[in-house]
Structure 1
Amino acid sequence: MASNDFPILRWGIVGTGVISSWFVTDLSLDRPDRKANHIIQAIGSSSIEKGTTFMDNNIGKNLKRPTVYGSYQELFADTNVDIVYIGTPHAFHNQNCLDAIRAGKHVLCEKPFAINARETKEVFEEAKQKGVFIMEAMWTRFFPLVQKLRELIHSEKAIGDVQRVFCDFSMPMGIASLPASSRLKNPALGAGSLLDIGIYSLTWVLLALEGEFSHDTPDVTANQRLEDGVDMATSALLLYEDGRQGIATCSTLSKTPSTFCRIEGSKVSSKWMELRPRHPLLLQSK
């Protein structure tokens, strides 16, 4: 199919931090399996200077130069923008999403989607009312490795029925030494291990325990280690009605070992899969 036969998506980038730079770089890659032609139409930042620097550093010289705005509201008002990527700190996701939706934009919002369930519900209800698409940008779900893993687990039943999944994502962050204004230390900015890295542990657990169109709702029991109102470590136990269990943990005080996830199945008592972050193409089955 010729490139001009694909639909065109004109993106507005909200936030000019490092995670937005990764997104723009990947979106601009020439992919043989692409399903659309993506254009970086506009960049919204807290200042024209920051937005221009972001454009110069991340938009290839051979690509169309996007419009740079010194505010997010100006980007939302741009009628040439079809869809917005929100890469701001997660404490601002709720308002950024609502503003974009009310301007009639589709939205891809960086993880974690919101600070709490109330904010999430508010955003989804607004999107439904306005008839726009909205999704959390959890790229892990789209990795070829993850798609193959889910095929092995849920379609091919390589280890039988999944019974239990363990996953940990921990990394020392030295939060005690950070200034009070840091997003990792300030509760008002959504500080803590759960929202910053625990979402990955939960995602892996859910990917392994639930099929593509699962509507299961597990009972969740969780505990946290708090210091000055910020969770340094979180442990969550997910219990499903049929007996499946998920154990998701995260910590800002220690480092995850090489095997970060284990998936246990029913074929034999010692059957499981190990996932190792340093070898993303390696699935070990024991």
Structure 2
Amino acid sequence: MPTPTPKSTPTPLTHDGPVRWGILGAGVIAGSAGADLRDTPDNTVHAVGARDLDRARALADTLGAPVAYGSYAELVADPDVDVVYVATTHGQHHEHALLAVEAGKPVLVEKAFTLTERQAREVVDAAGARGVFCMEAMWTRLHPLVRRAREIVAAGTIGEVVSVTADHGWAFDYDPAHRLFDLAAGGSALLDLGVYAATFPWLFLGAPDDVVATGRRSPTGSDATVAMLWSYADGRYANVSCTVEAFSPCEATVVGTGGWLTFRRPLFRPTSLLVHVGSPRDGVEEELTAPVEGNGYRPQFAEVARCLRAGLVESPLVPHADTVAIMGLMDRARLAVGARFPADD
């Protein structure tokens, strides 16, 4: 049996200035999240790296970053970059996360973390071995209403949770070259939309005992619609669905023995939380809201900065074990509908 690679202890970030970020990628997500990163206290965008230097320079100028690189390797080698944000397409996350980790850089990897559970485990194991921080950019887990809902459930306000329903659907015109349908880019309804829907039952029910899935594929072979039933030995269950073929309510409901919670659309960045305690006829309802600044990404960047200052290798709010396990559930569902990546082999 091979000897396990010893894990190293991360060194807390100690310099007095803001946390200096390098963004890998110059696409839509890099621009949207990068604007929030620029405006998050104790954080600054130091550099942008892309395969096209002109695109990297354009985004760097927009975000006020002083440095732009025409390659990813140059960015992760920059000694003034404290942490790397991987904002490339799904199919590149594994390679680019490892590139940062091998350079000794803490890394925040855009969701979905990787293409497969195996790839996810390789990234978190490599980060642990090098003693560098690593986190999936699952910003929904850090949303103030999601955190408040977990407190409400933990307090027993709606009784014992018995089921969770979550859906995320958006209609996209079919284009074989689009990132949602291109298998080489990691095209997948599950990885792009379903990962959000799967987060809700995981947060309120934990790991299921069994998963069954149905759905259909696009002409390229990517999963276009997927519905999952998560079952638990004690009778609890979750219905999770996603599609790139139709619009859906894009909401989530947590049902307890004494009431329910409903996250109003869009579930990945809920606008309000309906708390219903009691029966449908005579229960008491309260609608909670929380201000979401910018595009909604700021809490995740603040959490990364907090963890780096504390010398943590992972965030307790987005633990590695959850990221890897949810990737495994999506593997099972995706393969059940016959959608395969080359990385599955």
TM bin, normalised by shorter chain, reads: 0.7 to 0.9
Q: C-alpha separation between the residues in 2 aligned to 1:172 and 1:205?
A: 24
Question: Paired residue for 2:4?
Answer: none
The answer to which of 160-169 and 4-13 deviates more is 4-13
Residues 182-201 of structure 1, C-alpha deviations (whole Å, 9 max, x = no match): 21221122112111111111
1:244 and 2:236 aligned: yes
Q: How far 1:139 moved relative to its partner?
A: 0.5
Equivalent position amino acid for 2:263 in 1: L
Name the structure 2 match of 1:264: 255
* Aligned counterparts of 2:243 and 2:127: Cα–Cα separation in 1: 33
1:140-219 residue pairs with structure 2 within 5 A?
Answer: 140-154=140-154, 156-175=155-174, 178=175, 180-210=176-206, 216=207, 218-219=209-210
Equivalent in the alignment of 2:98: 98
Distance 1:46 1:5, change over 3 A: closer
1:1-286 correspondence runs (5 A): 8-29=18-39, 31=41, 37-59=42-64, 65-154=65-154, 156-175=155-174, 178=175, 180-210=176-206, 216=207, 218-228=209-219, 229-257=221-249, 260-267=251-258, 271-277=259-265, 280-285=271-276, 286=280
TM-score, structure 2 as length reference: 0.71
Q: Secondary structure at the match of 2:253?
A: strand
Structure 1 residues without counterparts, runs of 5 or longer: 32-36, 60-64, 211-215
Q: Quote the Cα distance in structure 2 between the aligned partners of 1:5 and 1:84.
A: 17
Letter aligned with residue 203 of structure 1: T
Tell me how large the CA RMSD over aligned residues is: 2.0
The 1:250–1:102 alpha-carbon spacing in structure 2 relative to 1, beyond 3 Å, is same
One-letter amino acid of the counterpart of residue 242, structure 1: D
Kindly state the Cα deviation for residue 173 of structure 1 after the two structures are TM-superposed. 0.8
SS of equivalent residue, structure 2 residue 179? coil
Q: Secondary structure at the residue paired with 2:20?
A: strand
Amino acid in structure 2 at the alignment position of 1:164:
S
How far off is 1:147 after superposition?
1.0
For residues 195 and 24 of structure 2, the distance between their equivalents in structure 1, rounded to whole angstroms, comes to 22
TM-score for both structures, normalised by structure 1: 0.85
Report the alpha carbon displacement of residue 66 of structure 1 after superposing the two structures with TM. 2.3
Number of residue pairs matched by the alignment: 260
Structure 2 gaps, min length 5: 1-13, 281-345
Q: 1:209 to 1:7 in 2, by over 3 A?
A: farther
Q: Which structure carries more relative contact order (alpha carbon 8 Å, separation 6+)?
A: 2
In the superposition, relative to structure 1, how do residues 18 and 241 fare at CA in structure 2: closer, same or farther (>3 Å)?
A: same
Shift of 1:6: 6.2
- What SS is found at the alignment partner of 1:277? coil
CA distance in 1, matches of 2:265, 2:143: 13
SS state at 1:76 partner: helix
Shift, 1:266, TM fit: 1.4
2:25–2:49 CA contact under 8 A, matched in 1:
yes
Q: How far is the alpha carbon of 1:244 from its aligned partner?
A: 2.4
CA-to-aligned-CA distance 1:26-81 (integer Å, 9 cap, x gap): 122255xxxxx21212110112211111122232xxxxx42111100001111111
Q: 1:107 & 1:218 partners in 2: Cα distance? A: 31
Contact 1:275 1:284 in 2 (8 A): no
Query: 271-280 vs 223-232, which deviates more?
Result: 271-280
Cα 1:126–1:78 shift into 2, 3 Å: same
Distance in 1 between residues matched to 2:198 and 2:218, nearest whole Å:
22
Hey, what's the Cα distance between the residues in 2 that align with 1:230 and 1:252?
Answer: 11
Change (3 A) 1:127 1:184: same
Residue type of the alignment partner of 2:117: A
SS in 2 for 1:255: coil
Deviation at 1:87, TM superposition (A): 0.3
Q: Is the 8 A contact 1:43 1:68 kept in 2?
A: yes
